[in-house]
A = this chain, B = another copy of it.
Amino acid sequence: MCIHCDYRQLLKDGGVSPTLNRLRVLEIIGSNNFPLPAADIHETLDRSAPINRVTVYRILDLLVEKQIVARIATGGRAAYYGMAPNAQHQAHPHFYCTQCGRMDCLTPETVDIDFHAFENTFPGRIDKVEMRLDGICRNCLKKKT
């Protein structure tokens, strides 16, 4: 996703020791320009050098907790993972193709969200705002004829 990202530094900043596996997981996520499900991340890593499925899940949990990685819900069953919003990467909506399961990042300006007033009166704590568009991607539309 980003040539400016120093993954090792991101881990350090999050107070996470930069083990090889953590770096590998973060690099897969960071070098991809759309979010991926855990199974894809595991599969990719496992091909280059074997790594346990559970290890991937644990690393993902850790990176999400440390806000280095964002867990993104879909209309489907599996969560997707992308870089968390940070100085370089603004939060943005995603498009999820319910046919092929591919998720795309939309530019932050795609939608104009203003919930400032609300945020001040809401009686709970807001940690995260997620916006997702569901539909059929161009590719799947083509295939369908």
- Which residues does A use to contact B, with CB under 8 Å? 71, 73-75, 95, 97-98, 106, 110-115, 118, 122-138, 140-141
Contact = CB atoms under 8 A, between A and B. Distances in A.
20 contacts: A73-B75, A73-B132, A75-B128, A95-B122, A95-B126, A97-B124, A98-B127, A106-B118, A110-B118, A111-B113, A112-B114, A124-B140, A125-B136, A126-B133, A126-B134, A126-B135, A130-B131, A130-B134, A131-B131, A131-B132
B136 A124 contact: yes
Q: Is the interface of A mostly helix, strand, loop or mixed?
A: mixed
Counting from the closest, the 8 A-B pairs by CB-CB distance are A111-B115, A123-B138, A112-B114, A126-B135, A128-B134, A124-B137, A127-B135, A125-B136
Copies assembled: 2
Contacts of A129: 131-134
Contacts of A137: 123-124
Contacts of A122: 95
A130 B122 CA distance: 19
